[in-house]
Chains A and B, each alone.
Chain A
Amino acid sequence: MNFDATNRWVGCFTQPADAKQMKHHVIRITVNGDRHTLAVAPHWTLVEVLREHLRLTGTKHGCGTGDCGACTVLLDGRSVNSCLTLAVEVDGREITTIEGIASSGGELHPVQDAFIAHGATQCGFCTPGMVVSSVQLLATNSRPEEQEIRHALGGNLCRCTGYTKIVEAIAAAATQGEEAEG
């Protein structure tokens, strides 16, 4: 799969041969509250546009095939793999990246506080995707069971932590949110 018809190594990000000639499309997107108008090639992915064009490098590019979840962002409030989302698909839509999870005043989301306090980050490369997935989980299920947390993280790989402290952090953030409400 990494080779073309002539057995030449081409990697996984092959583009249409005439990509250069393809017309750019103008899209309007809101990212973390900021509005942007961008001209994008039809094959550009959302992660590419976020990282290379908007320089929002908190979103990580870990695999390009939607398996690792390091590129997870919220699209109109729902988590998606930004490496599997084409930029042209998100015209007119609202995106939240890891840079937009804390309040604009810099106050951390309870999930972020809990990740720090529970030692849920090691190398930190999966962390932005983990945090975004966790925020999405708690938005839809404010008091998840441990197994629900583990399943909600099914699209996010981590190689450092064994997930233990990540799961603990999310459970603690949920408890804290409940206490704040109660």
Chain B
Amino acid sequence: MSRQTLIGKSLPRPDAKAKVTGGAQYTDDIHLPGMLHGALLRSPVAHARIASIDIDRARALPGVKCVITGNDVPAVRYGNWRLVPELQDETALAVDKVRFIGDEVAAVAAVDADTAREALELIDVEYEELPAVFGIEEALAEGAPHLHDAHTDNISLTRNIDYGELDRAFEEAFHIQEDVFTTHPVNHAYMEPCSALARAESDGRITIWTSTQTPYYIQCLLARTMELRENDVRVIKPHVGGGFGGKMELRPWDFCAAWMAREIGRPVKFTLDRTEELATGRRRHAVKISSRIAFQEDGTITGKEVRAWLNGGAYNGMGPTATFLIGNFGAMLYRIPAYRYRGLYIYTNTPPAGAMRGFGAPQALYAGETQMSQAAAALGLDPIELRLKNSMTEGDEIPGVATVGSCGLKECLEEVRRISGWNEKRATLGRGHGIGVACYSFISGGVFNWFNTKYPFSSAEVRVFDDGTAQLSTLAADIGQGSDLILPQILAEELGLRMDDIRLVTGDTAACPQSDLGTWGSRVTLMAGNAVRRAAKEVKERLFEMVSLKFDLNVIHELECGDGHIYAKNKPKRRIPFGEVVAMAQRANRGEPIKATGYYTPRDCGLVSPAFSFGAQVAETRVDLDTGKVEVEQMYTVHDCGVELNPMAVEGQLEGSIQMSLGYALSETLVMQEGRTLNTTFLDYKIPVAADMPPSISKTVETFEPAGPFGAKEAGEGLACPTAPAVVDAVYDATGYCCNDLPITPEKILGHLGA
């Protein structure tokens, strides 16, 4: 009889009860005695020198306890790119200059939110406006005003990739598919607005509760801006209401809460409102991509060249990483023997762009996958056949970047072709009705140490107790994706315990082992999961000794944990309850507790990621030829996320990604006018509601990823990529219109139809 396994079980989330009863605490839900409320004064102009700031009237308002500007705090430049200090270009409050509409200029702390906001109106700032640049072309034009004095132009970073004989590939090509694409800025629209609450302790140390994906980054960067030691800052991450990449940097409200709390000796809380989020918050990069792919007559790809210009906004933050990722994802999915990439990261006087679900991959794959379908049309081939012909397989190497450990792309394509009825539908559905396809690949965590951490990328401490329970401590950050479910599930599996035997300690830099880089790039299941397994294995070895000794087992016997016991695998009657073994081990260890810490840092696995997921998606759409309205009638998805540790959690990721990605394709865009975001409420920024969602069928192609815990890898982030190009392809199939400038709108379709 084999033991029960928790791997592949759709267990519910341990925090679900707190969430359905209103008991789950988010940062803004916390109220401390004496707490003050903060508010931020933002720049109303896109580019200006600050001639003067007068805060006297604000300070004099009854109830106002503190007002600070960039003149009152150290002008420490920060940013996630600690490895390249020149890329750290941001200060918490503007120093001398403002560079976008919404740039933080001053902060107020007052007895209540009304008073804080009233005080903002009493701060007088005199701006000397400067010429501004908003678009990529303007920013790169000769003589354009530049944003940062450290640069002589508006280019903050360039990235080049070159391999293979590219020129020859294009000279000998049968068909060259060449296109230019543009993409639009969109907002994460996480439901919980950003919030931070800080308290200065009596010894001068800082405790901050903040809505973040990355407690460790906040700890390091806040310490630096406050001129403290890292360990003098304690970051606590309460429940977080979504992030999607938008909460992985130190932000001005974190700093201002902490600085003012220390200054006045009372806790200070900032909570953004939705208009601040939409008007000034981080966003997915608007990108211009020029791409050409060389094909032989039979459809074999022989080379690809991609140029990308990313509108980075006024500051770098986390954003420049997308320059690398677009280059990387431009060369994924297919065997491309020769590749050239030129990426430019460009400053403009717009709100800074940053990480958002997929981070560069949605733009790169929108361009690349649209080209694959268009090339198929040009070559007279079926779009799925063309993809199958070129698709990557297990063991493929991307020169200098990565080796693909597991890959189910071909199987995904074949399966999605089958379940969607592709062969019967493509090009046959009739005018106004179409079907389209696109693929994706994504990373399972990043290898490149741009934060320049001196700690392991993931850490997990496991302690076991003689009552048969265990405790897992890790700084891995659940922001809704479910790591507080999956990591205990992995530990329960390793120790043969039930989920409710595992106590989780998380989200506190003072209580969890150093360190974990947080939630981004779909890294947590693989990296923190491996750290949990390593800690568990070490603990188990010490417990196994006890069982071997007790039963005087021959050295060839394997031991196993299961059903709350530890036993000899081939003599399962030789078993002892887990807690009793822990008691024995502690006695043997003169009372010292049994615990171990496991670490994971990706090594010797290229520059990008230890593992790659794959998938294929088909969209079936109906286009109203009179109005240009696109209705997505059905989605089909087949993905390879390795072994599904918890299918219900994987499905939740997949279903959520379709919502966000349909919004990206069809309804969401931040409407910009001279640096100002015009649509700043959810009435005007349209994320799909329940009734907008099409029916969706999904399947998995299971592979075993050798680098992942129990064979698992990324799920749900890469799916931010294929939906837009699949819908573009379906609209092309329905109307002959190929959208090269997202989003797809009725106006663009009607323009093509000549209506």
A interacts with B = yes
Known: A2-B680, A159-B687, A164-B696. A10 touches B189 (CB 8 A): no
Question: Is B465's CB within 8 Å of the partner chain A?
Answer: no
* CB <8 Å contact, A153 and B20: no
Instruction: Given A57-B29, A108-B21, A123-B240, decide whether A13 and B117 contact each other with a Cβ distance below 8 A.
Output: yes
Contact B479 A119 (CB under 8 A): no
Within 8 A of A (CB), among B645-684: 648-649, 651-652, 654-660, 680-683
B660 in contact with A159 (CB, 8 Å) = yes
Please give, as numbers and ranges, the residues of chain B lying within 8 Å of A111 by CB-CB distance.
20
* Contact flags A91-120 to B (C-beta < 8 A → 1, else 0): 000000111011000001001100111110
Please pick, from A62, A149, A158, A162, the residue contacting B193 in the complex, using a CB distance under 8 A. A62
Asked if A12 is an interface residue, CB under 8 A from chain B, the answer is yes
CB pair B21 A98 closer than 8 Å:
yes
Q: Which of B193, B275, B656 is close to A122, meaning CB atoms less than 8 Å apart?
A: B656
Chain A residue contacts of B481, Cβ below 8 A: 122
> How far is B269's CA from A61's CA once the two chains are assembled, in angstroms?
15
**In the assembly, what is the distance between CA of A118 and CA of B12, in Å?**
8
Closest to B687 in A: A157
Residues A65 and B655 in contact, CB atoms below 8 Å apart = no
Bound Cα distance A74, B144 (Å):
56
Question: Are B274 and A12 within 8 A (Cβ)?
Answer: yes
User: Given contacts A2-B275, A150-B693, A167-B690, is CB(A67)–CB(B682) below 8 Å?
Assistant: yes
9 pairs, A vs B, C-beta closer than 8 Å? A20-B114, A41-B114, A55-B31, A57-B31, A63-B682, A65-B274, A117-B12, A122-B482, A154-B690
Give chain B nearest CB distance to A23 CB in angstroms.
Answer: 15
Complex alpha-carbon distance, A1 and B188, angstroms: 21
User: Is there a chain B Cβ closer than 8 Å to A14's Cβ?
Assistant: yes
B residues 28-77 touching A (CB-CB < 8 Å): 28-29, 31, 39, 41-45
Question: Bound complex: CA of A13 vs CA of B274, how far in Å?
Answer: 10
Q: Judge if B191 is at the interface, Cβ distance under 8 Å.
A: yes
In the A-B complex, list the 10 residue pairs whose CB atoms are closest, starting with the nearest. A58-B22, A123-B480, A125-B241, A124-B19, A67-B682, A162-B655, A98-B22, A57-B29, A162-B659, A125-B191
B residues within 8 A CB of A58?
Answer: 21-23
With A60-B192, A67-B682 as known contacts, state yes or no: A151 contacts B691, CB within 8 Å.
yes
Complexed CA–CA distance, A101 and B17 (Å)? 12
* Known contacts A119-B649, A154-B690; A159/B242 CB under 8 A: yes
- Chain A interface residue number, banded: 35 or more
How far does the alpha carbon of A99 sit from the alpha carbon of B25 in the complex, in Å? 13
Chain A's nearest CB lies how many Å from the CB of B248?
Answer: 15
Q: Which residue of A lies closest to B663 (CB)?
A: A159
Show the binding face of A for B, using Cβ within 8 Å: 1-4, 7-15, 17, 19-20, 41, 51, 55-65, 67-68, 70, 97-99, 101-102, 108, 111-112, 115-119, 121-128, 131, 147, 149-151, 153-154, 156-167
If the complex has contacts A121-B16, A163-B659, are A62 and B191 also in contact, measured as CB distance less than 8 A?
yes
Q: How far is the CA of A108 from the CA of B43 in the complex (A)?
A: 47
List of A residues within 8 angstroms of B690 by Cβ: 149-151, 153-154, 156, 158, 163, 166-167
Q: How far is the CA of A97 from the CA of B29 in the complex (A)?
A: 15
Is B117's CB under 8 angstroms from A15's CB? yes
Shortest Cβ distance from A123 into B: residue: B480
Interface centre among B113, B649, B689 (most CB of A within 10 A): B689
The total number of A-B Cβ pairs within 8 Å is 227
What's the interface size class on B, roughly? 35 or more
**Contact partners of B241 in chain A: CB under 8 A:** 60, 123-126
Decide yes or no whether B627 CB sits under 8 A from chain A.
no
Task: Give every chain B residue within 8 A of A128 (Cβ-Cβ).
Answer: 20, 22
Contact of B242 among A2, A123, A153 (CB under 8 A): A123
Q: Which residues of B contact A9 (CB under 8 A)?
A: 41-44, 102, 120
**Contact between B192 and A131 (Cβ–Cβ < 8 Å)?**
no
Residue of A nearest to B112 (CB): A52
In the assembled complex, which residues on chain B have CB atoms less than 8 Å from the CB atom of A98? 20-22
Complex Cα distance A165/B19, Å?
15
Q: Once the chains bind, are B659 and A60 in contact (CB under 8 Å)?
A: no
Known interface pairs A9-B44, A15-B114, A63-B682; 10 further A-B residue pairs with C-beta atoms within 8 A, sorted by A's residue number: A1-B680, A12-B273, A12-B275, A61-B193, A65-B682, A115-B20, A124-B480, A156-B689, A157-B689, A161-B656
Q: Is the CB–CB distance between A8 and B121 below 8 Å? A: yes
Query: Which residues of A sit under 8 angstroms from B648, Cβ to Cβ?
Result: 118-119, 165
Q: Are B273 and A13 in contact (CB under 8 A)?
A: yes
Nearest CB of chain B from residue A66's CB, rounded to whole Å = 8
Which of B44, B113, B274, B691 touches A8 (beta carbons < 8 Å)?
B44
For B691-729 the 0/1 string (1 means CB < 8 A from A) is 101001000000000000000000000000000000000
